[in-house]
């Protein structure tokens, strides 16, 4: 946090140094990213990510989409436009901010991202990855995703305050569940840690991760407190599915 000198903000534990939340998903044939936060460029450089076949958005809050312009470099690496997906409401907000982004090169030769925009209300496919959008309650409309391949499944809901029972059922039994857990104290638009743990029990994933953690929480302290099968995520965490015993 800017101007903060709390134990977490001054910690030497690299797991307490947190960029904004995002997830990169890769199979043998396809690579996608869910959300492009303001830290997107640095995340791609730090983790040496050079392949991208699609961009998926959860919602149009600044911390989840303002790095979108840096997709342009992946146009150069891939040699073509890149598809982007969001629900209609959030897509409208994203396109309003990035009004100059289109699917054809600029007539003036300006270096702009080339994007094919897709509004989604039901399951869609990017290569061999199937994504099913699910609406949850946050501050604005927020879309989580069930992500599936032929053998693996994960749920990704980085910002959430309430999840309907029908949505819980969609995620039940996934291999990996990644869920919002901002802090210990309740928050009006995010799950606190206890609420996340309650929802993890209902979902019953093989492995669960808490993301979108603020500076109220020290990584090592939280990790020691969590039950088996649940862990705090951290920048650079890599998880391979299916799990190797």
For residue 141, the model assigns a pLDDT of: 81
The Cα 50–Cα 44 span in angstroms is 7
For residue 244, the model assigns a pLDDT of: 56
Kindly indicate the confidence band of residue 139, based on its pLDDT and cuts at 50, 70 and 90. Answer: confident
Over residues 149-160, the pLDDT tens digits come to 999 999 999 999
Handedness of CA 92, 43, 26, 207 (dihedral sign): negative
b (16+ CB within 10 A) / e for 29-59: ebbbbbbbbbbbeebbeeeeeeebbbbbbbb
Judge residue 177's burial from the number of C-beta atoms within 10 Å of its C-beta, 0-12 exposed, 13-18 middle, 19 or more buried: buried
Show me where the domains of the chain are located. 20-232
For residue 39, the model assigns a pLDDT of: 96
Over residues 179-221, the pLDDT tens digits come to 999 999 999 999 999 999 999 999 999 999 999 999 999 999 9
* CATH of region 20-232, choose from 3.60.15.10, 3.40.50.720, 1.10.287.1400, 3.40.50.150: 3.60.15.10
Reference 86, options 112, 64, 105; nearest CA is: 64
pTM: 0.94
Q: Which element (helix H / strand E) includes 219? A: helix 219-225
With a cut of 80, say whether residue 110 has pLDDT above it: no
Kindly indicate the confidence band of residue 117, based on its pLDDT and cuts at 50, 70 and 90. Answer: very high
For residue 111, the model assigns a pLDDT of: 83
With a cut of 80, say whether residue 72 has pLDDT above it: yes
């Amino acid at each position: 946090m800017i101007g903060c000198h709390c134990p977490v903000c001054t910690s030497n534990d690299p797991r307490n140094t947190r960029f904004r939340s995002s997830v990169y998903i890769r199979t043998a044939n396809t690579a996608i990213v869910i959300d492009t936060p303001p830290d997107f460029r640095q995340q791609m450089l730090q983790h040496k990510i050079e392949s991208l076949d699609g961009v998926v958005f959860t919602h149009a809050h600044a911390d989840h989409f303002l790095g979108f312009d840096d997709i342009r470099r992946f146009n150069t690496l891939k040699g073509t436009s890149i598809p982007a997906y969001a629900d209609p409401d959030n897509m409208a907000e994203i396109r309003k901010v990035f009004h100059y982004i289109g699917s054809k090169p600029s007539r003036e030769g300006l270096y702009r991202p080339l994007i094919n925009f897709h509004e989604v209300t039901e399951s869609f496919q990017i290569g061999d990855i199937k994504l099913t959008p699910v609406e949850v309650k946050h501050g604005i409309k927020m879309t989580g995703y069930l992500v599936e391949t032929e053998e693996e499944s994960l749920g990704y809901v980085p910002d959430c305050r309430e999840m309907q029972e029908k949505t819980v059922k969609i995620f039940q039994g996934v291999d990996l569940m990644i869920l919002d857990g901002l802090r210990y104290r309740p928050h009006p638009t995010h799950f606190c840690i206890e609420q996340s743990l309650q929802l993890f029990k209902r979902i019953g994933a093989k492995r669960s991760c808490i993301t979108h953690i603020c500076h109220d929480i020290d990584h090592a302290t939280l990790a020691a407190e969590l039950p088996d099968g649940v862990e705090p995520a951290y920048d650079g965490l890599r998880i391979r599915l299916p799990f190797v015993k």
